[in-house]
């Protein structure tokens, strides 16, 4: 087959992964890692210019274009961040060069897996890709080989595998539902074909399938009560991986959920997936919001805030409607950018202070103004305060759904407020007050963090019409 942009975003990571697995020296490899990530990003952008035709295995449409570009972009900035981060880890001897080689290779494999999951035109292929991504992250979470890291990895692994199994069962059920209509063979797994025939599938089979898919992929999204792996994995893995997990992997799983939601939406006889998603979203948001209060580990704190935001996003998509869907997409994008920016800041902070205990970090805006205020800006954004982008999405979610489901929205609002309280409770001790801990100057790369924050800020004030049109189009697709 001829190599187009679509294949490019898969091949580049795959090849560079192979290359990085053998190359020594972290300086070179980290540069190469960045280069590859950037190349992938550029290729992904080119998808907007010339849209390649969806093949039998890969597809491109407005929905996953958004996801792809977001993924590749954050992957690129994260690779830039990880260059300086890993450098510091090597200097402090927390990581050995062999680890780093493995790390970079895995990084690219992860990119490959996620891009594959996003572009797969085949529910089974998508499943395989997501599981591949999960397994890679499991390995990376355990990178430090500490008790805690291994425990986190193990937890992630076991829960992840169960999720895998459930998702697969759901996939099989979808096939069973499609097979009588479409006929045997791979055709009954191809998205593009499924979508055209969905109306004639057996509704009850679809319902059961969706339950399994919701739980299976929901585990990856980190919805409560399937979330247990998420905080530990974020807290114990290398910070770039925490950024990628929060910023990307959750989105990829969410993407899968959305696809199946669309599928069910096409079949009038099946149950509406909305209520299920809304319920799980609300549970996650409220639960995570309360969990923020008794956190002692700074990375766990923001991991829980990711759960909360995933809850909000799933709620938005569950409610449906053009405005809510638009808000969901926007919120997802903004959350990816903001949360990864926050993790960039947190990574450097933890490196400088030599600890992740919130109690040991204080007065950051005095000792390290740039990092400190950067973190403050990030938290302001993630807490949904203007003029950052998340405020816009939360505004749209709440205002567009309140008239429809007042009580649910009140719960959501309570969750948002509680989460804000928890975040700022911690931020106050981290960023302000009498300085505590090391005041060593940070050798950090601020560019990725502030690039993300700048985008989030800009989006809160002005959104380019092209982007808006794309989002609105997708929102319409999502129904």
Report CA torsion sign: 216, 479, 178, 56. Answer: negative
Stretch near other proteins under the rule CB under 8 A, chosen from 8-16, 335-343, 346-354, 419-427: 419-427
**Residue selected from 165, 199, 447, 454 as contacting other proteins according to rule CB under 8 A:** 165
379 lines the binding site for other proteins (CB under 8 A): no
**Residue selected from 90, 421, 438, 473 as contacting other proteins according to rule CB under 8 A:** 421
Kindly give the residue spans of alpha helices, DSSP state H, lying in 222-321: 229-236, 239-244, 250-265, 273-291, 298-319
Which three-class secondary structure state does DSSP give residue 171? helix
194 lines the binding site for other proteins (CB under 8 A): no
- Tokens found for residue 436: 């505590």
Decide if 310 contacts 246 (C-beta within 8 A).
no
| C-alpha 437 chain-centroid distance | 32
C-beta of 124: minimal distance to other proteins in Å? 5
98 lines the binding site for other proteins (CB under 8 A): no
Nearer to other proteins, 205 or 252 (CB): 205
460 lines the binding site for other proteins (CB under 8 A): yes
- d(Cα 455, Cα 396) in Å, to the nearest integer? 19
**Residue selected from 1, 53, 93, 462 as contacting other proteins according to rule CB under 8 A:** 462
Rounded alpha-carbon distances, angstroms, from residue 41 to 9, 65, 96, 165, 341:
8, 12, 29, 32, 18
Stretch near other proteins under the rule CB under 8 A, chosen from 64-72, 91-99, 157-165, 447-455: 157-165
Stretch near other proteins under the rule CB under 8 A, chosen from 59-67, 90-98, 426-434, 437-445: 426-434
Closest among 85, 235, 241, 242 to 148, alpha carbons compared: 235
Residue 407: burial class (beta carbons within 10 Å; 0-12, 13-18, 19+): exposed
Nearer to other proteins, 300 or 335 (CB): 300
**Residue selected from 28, 204, 439, 440 as contacting other proteins according to rule CB under 8 A:** 204
465 lines the binding site for other proteins (CB under 8 A): yes
Residue with tokens 């804000």: 420
Nearer to other proteins, 3 or 183 (CB): 183
Stretch near other proteins under the rule CB under 8 A, chosen from 73-81, 306-314, 402-410, 442-450: 402-410
Site for other proteins in 327-356 (CB under 8 A): 356
Q: Is 444 left (phi over 0), alpha (psi -120 to 50) or beta?
A: beta
**Residue selected from 11, 14, 162, 370 as contacting other proteins according to rule CB under 8 A:** 162
C-beta of 344: minimal distance to other proteins in Å? 21
- d(Cα 392, Cα 397) in Å, to the nearest integer? 9
Site for other proteins in 99-138 (CB under 8 A): 124, 128, 131, 135
Decide if 108 contacts 156 (C-beta within 8 A).
no
Rounded alpha-carbon distances, angstroms, from residue 475 to 171, 267, 468:
24, 18, 10
- d(Cα 82, Cα 445) in Å, to the nearest integer? 9
Stretch near other proteins under the rule CB under 8 A, chosen from 147-155, 237-245, 305-313, 438-446: 147-155
409 lines the binding site for other proteins (CB under 8 A): yes
For residue 49, give every residue at least 6 positions away whose Cβ sits within 8 Å of its Cβ, in sequence order, or none: none
**Residue selected from 287, 302, 315, 344 as contacting other proteins according to rule CB under 8 A:** 287
Report CA torsion sign: 128, 130, 136, 138. Answer: negative
C-beta of 316: minimal distance to other proteins in Å? 13
Site for other proteins in 9-68 (CB under 8 A): none
How many chain residues are in contact with other proteins, going by CB under 8 A? 106
Nearer to other proteins, 86 or 449 (CB): 449
396 lines the binding site for other proteins (CB under 8 A): yes
Nearer to other proteins, 86 or 174 (CB): 174
Stretch near other proteins under the rule CB under 8 A, chosen from 103-111, 259-267, 306-314, 385-393: 385-393
- d(Cα 264, Cα 242) in Å, to the nearest integer? 32
411 lines the binding site for other proteins (CB under 8 A): no
Site for other proteins in 208-267 (CB under 8 A): 208, 211-212, 214-215, 219, 225-226, 228-229, 231, 235
Decide if 327 contacts 259 (C-beta within 8 A).
no
**Residue selected from 42, 387, 411, 438 as contacting other proteins according to rule CB under 8 A:** 387
């Amino acid at each position: 087959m001829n190599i187009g942009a679509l294949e490019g975003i898969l091949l580049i990571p795959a090849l560079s992964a192979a290359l990085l697995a053998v190359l020594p020296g972290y300086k070179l490899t980290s540069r190469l890692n960045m280069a590859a990530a950037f190349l992938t990003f550029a290729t992904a952008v080119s998808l907007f210019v010339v849209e390649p035709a969806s093949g039998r295995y890969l597809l491109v449409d407005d929905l996953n274009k958004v996801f792809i570009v977001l993924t590749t972009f954050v992957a690129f900035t994260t690779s830039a961040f990880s260059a300086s981060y890993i450098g510091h880890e090597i200097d402090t001897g927390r990581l050995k060069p062999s680890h780093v080689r493995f790390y970079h290779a895995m990084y690219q494999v992860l990119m490959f897996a996620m891009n594959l999951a996003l572009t797969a035109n085949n529910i089974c292929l998508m499943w395989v890709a997501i599981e591949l991504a999960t397994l890679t992250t499991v390995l990376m979470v355990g990178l430090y080989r500490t008790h805690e890291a291994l425990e986190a990895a193990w937890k992630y692994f076991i829960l992840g595998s169960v999720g895998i199994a459930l998702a697969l069962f759901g996939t099989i059920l979808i096939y069973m539902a499609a097979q009588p209509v479409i006929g045997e063979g791979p055709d009954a797994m191809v998205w593009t074909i499924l979508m055209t025939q969905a109306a004639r599938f057996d509704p009850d089979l679809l319902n059961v399938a969706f339950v399994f898919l919701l739980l299976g992929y929901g585990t990856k999204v980190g919805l409560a009560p399937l979330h247990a792996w998420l905080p530990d994995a974020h807290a114990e893995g290398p910070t770039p991986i925490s950024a990628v997990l929060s910023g990307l992997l959750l989105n990829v799983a969410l993407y899968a959920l959305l696809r199946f939601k669309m599928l069910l939406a096409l079949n009038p006889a099946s149950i509406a997936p909305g209520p299920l998603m809304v319920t799980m979203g609300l549970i996650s948001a409220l639960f995570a919001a309360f969990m923020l209060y008794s956190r002692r580990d700074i990375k766990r704190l923001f991991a829980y805030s990711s759960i909360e935001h995933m809850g909000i996003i799933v709620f938005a998509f569950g409610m449906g409607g053009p405005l809510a869907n638009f808000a969901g997409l926007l919120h997802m994008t903004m959350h990816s950018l903001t949360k990864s920016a926050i993790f960039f800041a947190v990574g450097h902070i933890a490196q400088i202070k030599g600890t992740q205990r919130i109690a040991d970090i204080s007065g950051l805006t005095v000792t390290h103004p740039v990092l400190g205020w950067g973190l403050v800006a990030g938290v302001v954004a993630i807490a949904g305060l203007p003029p950052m982008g998340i405020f816009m999405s939360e505004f749209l979610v709440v205002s567009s759904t309140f008239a429809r489901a007042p009580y649910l929205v009140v719960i959501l609002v309570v969750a948002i407020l509680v989460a804000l309280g928890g975040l700022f409770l911690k931020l106050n001790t981290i960023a302000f007050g009498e300085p505590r801990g090391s005041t060593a100057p940070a050798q950090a790369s601020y560019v990725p963090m502030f690039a993300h924050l700048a985008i989030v800020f800009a989006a809160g004030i002005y959104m380019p019409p092209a982007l808006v049109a794309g989002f609105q189009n997708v929102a319409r697709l999502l129904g």
